[in-house]
């Protein structure tokens, strides 16, 4: 059709046929569309990321190299803030606290999630309801949970101590020691996320080919062996994923430890459960020291990267057994 | 014990060709015939599941018990285990308490979380489509960058400059301050990419191209309808996740214009700081919207999480 | 007739605009003010205060709204924790240039820090309010000035100091419950120590005193006032905690009481402390005038008659007392200044006293029989006016440096650590000093 039109309109000087320019234009447009539209489609994300992601990251670095208050002069001090933090006992304690709570909040949680998923992988009635029941903790407000759990862990009036008291255990001051406070706070995180991770593992478990299990059963493997040598290795990618997500959540704990001490940022009388996130907020909110807060934020970032890598290396060593 | 049972059943399920026929029981499969373990639920399993459910629900139940009683409920031993009749009164007091702005918090959270969910869905479907079905230079690199950005918890690392930015823009204590930073959500793009790859056949896209459809038309007419379940899941999950954001709203907003998490935090320092029945009433109210969403859309949410887990 | 290409383009634009519109800022939550401050324009003024009971302005605010129909007052009690929540937030808001109210409260121990931020405040003398000088004792008036000499704050209340005690618990312990007898028992600190010992020996299942913080502060303020008037910082803002005799005396006293087992394992303003106040977890607590209101509302009607009030050992003392100031960022400084003026008038201070027992700082109000002869029914008709006035009369003001509040929060944590058992008596002083030093080092 196009050829005929061209032939027809070529020799004479005709009033410009509306077809030809539109044709070229349309082709040009669709070329542009083909080449450019993917970039246009992904651009909203990247624009937002540049403004609210990349720029703040860079700016944090910039602020951390200064003695920075909101009002007043910003003085360049180079790496002084970092030097201070890395040699400061209190900051080092917050790092230890953060890692400790992260371990207590992640390892039991994921192990429990694996076992719960395994249990859920059987046949029984009301599967959807059970799954919903297991997921309910995920739906609750973070601060609400922290408040309720903190009350349950009250020293004098909390239910946990009352329960333990029935067995002759002295009331534990859950806020006094590092370990007790870490256990209490981690239990909040474990409670919230075990069900969610269990459902994720369940889905992945259901995709494992039955043949593997049958073959193993023929070989005489016990169900426990099958679990650890078939199920878990098959779940490796999912486990890596959940470990990664939990790492980020665990290393940035903020709401739970804060509400555990009635909304204060000091993390206990000696800072025994102050996390790095709390330290950051305290530095710029209470001490008006934005440079120090920014430096602490970058150190937190470094910590996340290091630990995420370490996690990956550890989990990656789950090998399948043939 | 379960081992013995399962081995027997597995035996029964395999072809008799290799084994002595032990036609004891019918082979069990689930409806779809997918690879599901044929083990039945043992008593131990049932106990474990029961315990898990009880532990999952107990703190919520305790919240309801205290919220429906008065202040002394939280300090009496042995602790009361049944709800009382005070809930209606407590709710009305909590709603009218102006030291915590609970109602404002709920409304703000709806606006903020709703906007964030909607925007994330739009951005993620657009970008997910591009990564899934369009070939363009640098797509791998860009995708890798998005993966990297998922690794950075922006509201913690970037909190200082974000706050300074909000001050400079004059946006402290505004809702846009708590909406915009949360639109950077790489997880949504991955999820929608997966859905799009699965749900939209390449041939369909090719055919539409040949017919002269523009990219946008393909997106609007073909992709969007196909990934609707994914949109629902992403929207719900994003809404729920954003409802629970605490750190950044705490910094960026004032007590008189809070989101719901900040509002219930204020309950513990406001007029009723010593009255746990009031505090728990507030926390209950803050959970209610999510619970309703969860009960209404539970199946989709569970399905979405499971799909997301498989694809991870 | 639109061509197909054009229609496509149009659609693309539509979607593009829609996408941008989605990402554009949603309307913020600001309900506030109109431009221009003509006196008939409707104006909303935000008043932000702190404290377990606020400042008692509910009725005053309504009264002001009635007298000024175009003005709506949004009166907020932001939090009861001044040190850890209200103060940092206010500083952030002042620094940020937005988010603070039109009229904000400042507490005494934070006033040094606030007044060092000269540019943050409206000079109230621009609105003729330096005429208020005659309403105040000199020290209260002076503390309301910035380092540049701007009049930034008008005084509201003073805390004074008394000692509140639980008559029911005293009775159980075999101690006298009549307040004159109680006052005689603890005329000085040795007497207080002996009372503590008796209480502990009686075996009542309750702590003698609520927490280390308040008893420490009572002692500190007295000692500092009787000395050179400084505590953590000297008047040049040097950090002198380690060398301050007042601090050491107060510190040692807390350790002494703790060794006896007399101090409760609570920190003030925490959940458990609140609960213990109601449930009888401790028998005494330091009671500035405003604490009476807190005790009443926390302990509730069920405890009416269980609380009473006696003079504090050594009689003199002051904790708290505030000022109202107008941040420079306010959109309506003139109206805000007028409102602050109204709320701090001696008559208003009187009304606030009647509402929540906050003691007026204006001598005119103090001498009003309604205050001077007042009794608090909840506290068994204790002559609160008398007790508090006496405590202020002999009170010597103390200088609070810029970082006082922050240091205080940190070192009091250590005190609590001593009571918890985290620090032994030998370690405690060093931990105490270094906690304060940490704050000084990390502060901007």
Find the CATH number of the domain harbouring C188: 3.40.190.10
**Same structural domain for residues A157 and A214?**
yes
Residues in chain C with CB shorter than 8 Å from the CB of A162 are: none
Residue C219 falls inside a structural domain: yes
- Residue C245: its H or E element: helix C245-259
Q: How confident is the model at residue B20 (pLDDT cuts 50, 70, 90)?
A: very low
Q: Are the beta carbons of A119 and B35 separated by less than 8 Å?
A: no
Q: What is the pLDDT of residues A60-108, one digit of tens each?
A: 999 999 988 876 678 898 899 999 999 999 999 999 999 999 999 999 9
**Same structural domain for residues A179 and A284?**
yes
Q: How confident is the model at residue B178 (pLDDT cuts 50, 70, 90)?
A: very high
Asked if C77 and C51 count as a contact pair (C-beta separation under 8 A), the reply is yes
- Domain residue spans in chain B? 40-92, 100-311
**Same structural domain for residues A215 and A97?**
yes
Asked if A283 and B159 count as a contact pair (C-beta separation under 8 A), the reply is no
The CA-atom distances, in angstroms, between A277 and each of A59, A298, B157, C359 are: 18, 11, 9, 40
Lowest mean pLDDT of C27-41, C174-188, C255-269, C314-328, name the range. Answer: C27-41
- Ordered DSSP codes for A188-225: HHHHHHHHHHHHHHHHHHHTS-HHHHHHHHHTT--HHH
Residue C33 falls inside a structural domain: no
Q: Are the beta carbons of A203 and B307 separated by less than 8 Å?
A: yes
Lowest mean pLDDT of B34-43, C69-78, C366-375, name the range. Answer: B34-43
Q: Are the beta carbons of A154 and C271 separated by less than 8 Å?
A: yes
pLDDT at residue A319 in the model:
59
The rounded distance, in Å, linking the Cα atoms of C76 and A237 is: 52
**Same structural domain for residues C408 and C283?**
yes
The rounded distance, in Å, linking the Cα atoms of C393 and C387 is: 10
CA angle C74, C75, C76 (to 5 degrees): 115
CB atoms within 10 A of CB C96: 20
Residue C31 falls inside a structural domain: no
Q: Are the beta carbons of C78 and B255 separated by less than 8 Å?
A: yes
The rounded distance, in Å, linking the Cα atoms of B147 and B141 is: 10
Please check the confidence at residue B87 and state whether its pLDDT lies above 60. yes
C-beta contacts of A219-228 below 8 A and 24+ residues apart: A222/B3, A223/B2, A223/B3, A223/B6, A223/B39, A227/A118
Interface test with B, best of C29, C266, C298 (most B CBs within 10 A): C29
Residues in chain C with CB shorter than 8 Å from the CB of B216 are: 8, 11-12, 15
Mean predicted confidence (pLDDT) in C157-169: 91
Question: CATH number, domain at A207?
Answer: 1.10.3720.10
Phi-psi region of C213 (alpha: psi -120 to 50; beta: other; left: phi over 0): alpha
Nearest CA in chain B to A211: B35
Residue C172 falls inside a structural domain: yes
**Same structural domain for residues A196 and A230?**
yes
Mean predicted confidence (pLDDT) in C306-322: 88
The rounded distance, in Å, linking the Cα atoms of A313 and C215 is: 54
The CA-atom distances, in angstroms, between B30 and each of A122, B5, B27, B312 are: 10, 18, 10, 24
CATH code given to domain B100-311: 1.10.3720.10
Query: Which segment, A31-40, A310-319, C228-237, C308-317, is predicted with the most confidence on average?
Result: C308-317
Residue C153 falls inside a structural domain: yes
**Same structural domain for residues C413 and C428?**
yes
Number of domains in chain C: 2
Q: What is the pLDDT of residues C390-432, one digit of tens each?
A: 888 877 778 888 888 888 888 998 999 899 888 888 889 999 9
Please check the confidence at residue A40 and state whether its pLDDT lies above 50. yes
Please check the confidence at residue A275 and state whether its pLDDT lies above 80. yes
Residue C101 falls inside a structural domain: yes
Residue A27 falls inside a structural domain: yes
Q: Which two tokens stand for residue C52?
A: 């377990």
Domain boundary among A37, A64, A91: A64
Please check the confidence at residue B216 and state whether its pLDDT lies above 60. yes
Interface test with B, best of A74, A122, A300 (most B CBs within 10 A): A122
pLDDT at residue C15 in the model:
43
Q: Look up the ipTM and state it.
A: 0.83
pLDDT at residue B300 in the model:
79
Lowest mean pLDDT of A21-35, A172-186, C270-284, name the range. Answer: A21-35
Please check the confidence at residue C3 and state whether its pLDDT lies above 70. no
**Same structural domain for residues C248 and C287?**
yes
**Same structural domain for residues C236 and C302?**
yes
**Same structural domain for residues A115 and A210?**
yes
Please check the confidence at residue C25 and state whether its pLDDT lies above 50. no
Q: Which residues pair with C166 in a beta bridge?
A: C307
Mention every residue, 6+ apart, whose C-beta is less than 8 A from residue A57: A301, B152, B154, B157, B158
Mean predicted confidence (pLDDT) in C118-132: 89
Residue A191 falls inside a structural domain: yes
Please check the confidence at residue A148 and state whether its pLDDT lies above 80. yes
The rounded distance, in Å, linking the Cα atoms of C29 and B173 is: 8
**Same structural domain for residues C338 and C304?**
no
**Same structural domain for residues C195 and C329?**
no
Angle between helices A210-218 and B2-13 (to 10 degrees): 110
Residues of C engaging B, defined by a Cβ cutoff of 8 Å: 8, 11-12, 15, 19, 22-23, 25-30, 46, 52, 74, 76-81, 85, 89, 93, 95-99, 269, 271, 274-275, 277-279, 298, 300
pLDDT at residue A21 in the model:
57
Task: Flag whether residue C269 sits within 8 Å of chain A, measured between CB atoms.
Answer: yes
Q: How confident is the model at residue B36 (pLDDT cuts 50, 70, 90)?
A: very low
Lowest mean pLDDT of B151-155, B241-245, B277-281, C151-155, name the range. Answer: B151-155
pLDDT at residue A251 in the model:
93
- The strand ranges marked E within C58-175 are 71-77, 103-107, 153-158, 162-166
Nearest CA in chain A to B162: A56
pLDDT at residue C6 in the model:
46
pLDDT at residue C5 in the model:
47
The rounded distance, in Å, linking the Cα atoms of A163 and A160 is: 5
**Same structural domain for residues A150 and A24?**
no
pLDDT at residue C34 in the model:
39
Domain boundary among A64, A92, A122: A64
**Same structural domain for residues A96 and A29?**
no
Q: How much is the pTM?
A: 0.81
Q: Which residue segment(s) compose the domain that A25 sits in? A: 17-64
Residues in chain B with CB shorter than 8 Å from the CB of A34 are: 215
The CA-atom distances, in angstroms, between B27 and each of A122, B2, B9 are: 15, 16, 7
Mention every residue, 6+ apart, whose C-beta is less than 8 A from residue C317: C160, C161, C218, C221, C222, C286, C288, C391, C395
Mean predicted confidence (pLDDT) in A51-57: 90
**Same structural domain for residues C178 and C248?**
yes
Q: How confident is the model at residue C237 (pLDDT cuts 50, 70, 90)?
A: confident
Please check the confidence at residue A9 and state whether its pLDDT lies above 70. no
The CA-atom distances, in angstroms, between C61 and each of B148, B228, C297, C346, C386 are: 54, 53, 21, 15, 28
Mean predicted confidence (pLDDT) in B240-263: 88
**Same structural domain for residues C361 and C397?**
no
Q: Are the beta carbons of C28 and B176 separated by less than 8 Å?
A: yes
Q: Are the beta carbons of C95 and A287 separated by less than 8 Å?
A: no
Residue A92 falls inside a structural domain: yes
Give me the residue from A71, A261, A286 closest to C406, CB to CB. Answer: A286
Average pLDDT, chain A: 84
pLDDT at residue C257 in the model:
93
CB atoms within 10 A of CB A230: 19
Residue A185 falls inside a structural domain: yes
Interface test with B, best of A25, A35, A41 (most B CBs within 10 A): A41
Mean predicted confidence (pLDDT) in B255-271: 82
Pairing of strands C282-287, C43-49: unpaired
Q: Are the beta carbons of B127 and A70 separated by less than 8 Å?
A: no
pLDDT at residue B6 in the model:
35
Number of domains in chain A: 2
Gap from C7 CA to chain B (nearest CA, Å): 11
**Same structural domain for residues A285 and A169?**
yes
Q: Which residue segment(s) compose the domain that C434 sits in? A: 162-318+388-442
**Same structural domain for residues C59 and C119?**
yes
- Residue A255: its H or E element: helix A255-260
**Same structural domain for residues C195 and C290?**
yes
pLDDT at residue A39 in the model:
87
**Same structural domain for residues C293 and C434?**
yes
Domain boundary among C341, C371, C401: C371
Q: Are the beta carbons of A269 and C406 separated by less than 8 Å?
A: no
pLDDT at residue C11 in the model:
41
Residues in chain C with CB shorter than 8 Å from the CB of A177 are: 422
Which position has the token pair 């621009």? C126
CA C169 to chain centre: 28
**Same structural domain for residues C288 and C172?**
yes
- Name the C residues in 366-405 with CB < 8 Å from any A CB: none
**Same structural domain for residues A32 and A153?**
no
Q: Are the beta carbons of B312 and A238 separated by less than 8 Å?
A: yes
Angle between helices B186-199 and B102-133 (to 10 degrees): 50
Q: Which residues pair with C408 in a beta bridge?
A: none
Residue C14 falls inside a structural domain: no
Residue A133 falls inside a structural domain: yes
**Same structural domain for residues A94 and A51?**
no
Mean predicted confidence (pLDDT) in B10-15: 38
Asked if C244 and C232 count as a contact pair (C-beta separation under 8 A), the reply is yes
The rounded distance, in Å, linking the Cα atoms of B7 and B18 is: 15
**Same structural domain for residues A178 and A274?**
yes
Interface test with B, best of A23, A141, A166 (most B CBs within 10 A): A141
**Same structural domain for residues A94 and A203?**
yes
Please check the confidence at residue A239 and state whether its pLDDT lies above 80. yes
Mean predicted confidence (pLDDT) in A242-264: 89
């Amino acid at each position: 059709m196009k050829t005929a039109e061209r032939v027809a309109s070529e020799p004479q000087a005709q009033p410009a046929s509306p077809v030809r320019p539109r044709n070229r234009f349309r082709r040009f447009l669709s070329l542009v569309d083909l080449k450019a539209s993917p970039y246009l489609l992904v651009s909203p994300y990247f624009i937002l990321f540049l403004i609210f992601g990349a720029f703040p990251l860079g700016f944090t670095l910039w602020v951390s190299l200064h003695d920075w208050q909101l009002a007043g002069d910003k003085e360049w001090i180079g790496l002084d803030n970092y030097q201070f933090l890395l040699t400061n006992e209190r900051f080092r304690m917050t790092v230890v606290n953060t890692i400790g709570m992260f371990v207590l909040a992640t390892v039991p949680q994921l192990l429990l999630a694996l076992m719960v998923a395994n249990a859920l992988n059987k046949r029984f009635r009301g599967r959807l309801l059970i799954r919903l029941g297991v997921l309910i903790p995920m739906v609750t407000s973070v601060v609400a949970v922290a408040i309720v759990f903190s009350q349950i862990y009250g020293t004098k009036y909390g239910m946990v101590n009352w329960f333990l008291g029935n067995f002759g255990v002295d009331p534990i001051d859950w806020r006094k020691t590092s370990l007790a406070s870490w256990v209490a706070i981690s239990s909040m995180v474990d409670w919230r996320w075990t069900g969610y991770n269990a459902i994720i593992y369940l889905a992945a478990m259901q995709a494992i080919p039955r043949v593997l299990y049958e073959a193993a059963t023929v070989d005489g493997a016990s169900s426990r062996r099958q679990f650890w040598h078939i199920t878990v290795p098959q779940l490796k990618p999912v486990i890596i994923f959940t470990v990664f997500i939990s790492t980020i959540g665990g290393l940035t704990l903020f709401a739970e430890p804060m509400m555990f001490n009635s909304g204060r940022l000091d993390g206990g009388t000696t800072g025994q459960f102050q996390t790095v996130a709390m330290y950051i907020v305290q530095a710029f909110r209470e001490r008006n020291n934005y440079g120090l807060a920014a430096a602490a934020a970058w150190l937190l970032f470094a910590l996340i990267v290091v630990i995420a890598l370490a996690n990956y290396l550890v989990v990656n060593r789950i090998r399948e057994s043939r | 014990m379960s081992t013995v049972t399962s081995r027997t059943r597995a035996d029964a399920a395999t072809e008799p060709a290799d084994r002595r026929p032990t036609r004891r029981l019918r082979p069990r499969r689930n409806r779809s015939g997918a690879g599901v373990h044929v083990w039945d639920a043992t008593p131990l399993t049932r106990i474990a599941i029961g315990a898990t459910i009880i532990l999952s629900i107990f703190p919520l139940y305790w919240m309801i018990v205290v919220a429906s009683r008065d202040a002394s409920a939280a300090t009496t031993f042995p602790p009361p285990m049944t709800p009382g009749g005070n809930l209606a009164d407590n709710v009305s007091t909590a709603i009218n308490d102006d030291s915590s702005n609970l109602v404002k918090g709920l409304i703000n959270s709806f606006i903020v979380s709703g906007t964030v969910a909607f925007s994330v869905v739009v951005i993620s479907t657009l970008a997910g489509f591009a990564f899934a079905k369009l070939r363009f230079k640098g797509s791998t690199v860009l995708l890798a960058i998005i993966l990297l950005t998922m690794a950075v918890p922006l509201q913690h690392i970037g909190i200082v400059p974000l706050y300074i930015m909000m001050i400079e823009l004059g946006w402290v204590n505004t809702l846009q301050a708590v909406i915009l930073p949360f639109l950077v959500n790489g997880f949504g793009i991955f999820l929608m990419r997966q859905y799009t790859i699965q749900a939209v056949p390449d041939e369909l896209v090719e055919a539409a191209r040949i017919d002269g459809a523009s990219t946008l038309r393909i997106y609007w007419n073909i992709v969007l309808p196909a990934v609707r379940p994914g949109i629902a899941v992403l929207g719900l999950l994003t809404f729920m996740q954003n409802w629970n954001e605490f750190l950044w709203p705490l910094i960026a907003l004032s007590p008189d214009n809070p989101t719901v998490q900040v509002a219930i935090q204020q309950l513990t320092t406001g007029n009723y700081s010593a009255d746990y029945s009031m505090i728990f009433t507030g926390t209950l109210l803050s959970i209610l919207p999510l619970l309703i969403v969860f009960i209404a859309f539970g199946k989709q949410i569970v399905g979405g999480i499971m799909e997301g887990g498989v694809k991870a | 007739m639109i061509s197909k290409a054009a229609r496509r383009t149009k659609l693309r634009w539509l979607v593009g605009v829609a996408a941008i519109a989605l990402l554009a800022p949603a309307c913020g939550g600001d309900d506030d003010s109109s431009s221009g401050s003509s006196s008939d324009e409707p104006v909303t003024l935000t008043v932000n205060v702190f404290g377990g009971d606020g400042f008692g302005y509910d009725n005053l605010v309504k009264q002001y709204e009635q007298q000024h129909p175009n003005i709506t007052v949004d009166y907020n009690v932001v939090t009861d924790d001044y040190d850890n929540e209200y103060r940092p937030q206010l500083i952030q808001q002042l620094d940020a240039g937005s988010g603070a109210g039109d009229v904000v409260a400042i507490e005494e121990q934070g006033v040094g820090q606030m007044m060092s931020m000269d540019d943050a405040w409206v000079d109230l003398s621009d609105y003729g309010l330096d005429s208020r000088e005659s309403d105040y004792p000199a020290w209260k008036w002076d503390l309301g000035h910035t380092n540049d000499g701007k009049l930034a704050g008008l005084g509201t209340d003073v805390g004074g100091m008394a000692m509140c005690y639980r008559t029911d618990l005293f009775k159980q312990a075999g101690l006298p419950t009549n307040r004159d007898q109680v006052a005689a028992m603890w005329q000085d600190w040795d007497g207080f120590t002996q009372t503590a010992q008796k209480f502990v020996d009686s075996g009542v299942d309750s702590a003698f005193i609520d927490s280390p913080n308040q008893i420490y502060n009572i002692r500190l303020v007295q000692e500092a006032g009787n000395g050179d008037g400084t505590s953590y910082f000297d008047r040049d803002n040097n950090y002198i905690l380690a060398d301050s005799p007042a601090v050491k005396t107060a510190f040692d006293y807390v350790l002494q009481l703790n060794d006896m087992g007399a101090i409760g394992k609570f920190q003030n303003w925490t959940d458990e402390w609140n609960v213990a106040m109601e449930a009888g977890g401790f028998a005494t607590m330091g009671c500035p005038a405003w604490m009476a209101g807190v005790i009443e509302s926390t302990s509730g009607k069920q405890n009416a008659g269980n609380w009473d009030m006696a003079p504090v050992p050594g009689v003199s003392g002051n904790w708290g007392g505030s000022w109202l100031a107008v941040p420079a960022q306010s959109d309506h400084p003139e109206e805000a200044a007028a409102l602050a003026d109204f709320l701090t008038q001696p008559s208003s201070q009187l009304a606030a006293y009647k509402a929540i027992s906050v003691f007026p700082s204006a001598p005119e109000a103090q001498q009003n029989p309604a205050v001077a002869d007042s009794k608090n029914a909840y506290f068994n008709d204790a002559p609160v006016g008398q007790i508090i006035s006496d405590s202020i009369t002999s009170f010597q003001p103390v200088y609070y440096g810029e970082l006082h509040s922050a240091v205080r929060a940190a070192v009091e944590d250590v005190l609590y650590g001593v009571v918890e058992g985290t620090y032994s008596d030998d370690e405690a002083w060093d931990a105490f000093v270094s906690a304060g030093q940490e704050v000084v080092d990390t502060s901007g």
